Structure 1
Amino acid sequence: MEIPCPMRIATETMGGRWRPGILWRLMDGPMRYGELRRGMPWISEKILIRHLRDLEAAGLILRTDHGTQPPQVDYRLTEAGQTLGPVLTAMAAWGAGRSAAGAERLGA
């Protein structure tokens, strides 16, 4: 029996180009779909919806439909999603360091 690689499990569940950013934004609390969309204008609507569904299926976020007209839907991290807080914080710190290092190299 093959033992699954823990890094593969982690990257397949929450990895990819956009999923960490979605999870990062939800760390501050529930957000409506429109808030997420405005906060990530570089993601197409189709891709954002697909990733939200994938993250929900993985048990990392919870989608709540309030059953109103117009539709009001919000997303929040589940307990499992909240456990990613330290990982996402470390990734953001690393990204900020890379951004600062890049600015220094360019003389900014």
Structure 2
Amino acid sequence: MKGILLADNGDLAIKPVLERDGIRSGIIIGGSEIQNAYIVLGMNQGELKEDPLIGPNLLRFIRAKATKTAVIRQVRIHLERDGLDYDELKERINIKLKTD
């Protein structure tokens, strides 16, 4: 999935370019699945006006006696609600961690 990329600080990732006709451009477009997953997993329910049910509220699991299965279930539900595949993202993250 391609989309507008964000910089590490959350602002738009921009690489300014001055075209031949004098028009400025530079918004960076690229693969945004991991970025989107990061945003979704950091949300709490009600934070996104367009879809108030999205947001796994992961902070509540810090002191809770939740099982790993319960946390994964919550993550899977909310990623799928945003159109992302948990299993695919999990593999991509693991491959990235092994190569770094």
TM value normalised by structure 1: 0.29
Structure whose CA Rg is larger: 2
TM-score (norm 2): 0.31
Greater relative contact order structure (CA < 8 Å, 6+ sep):
1
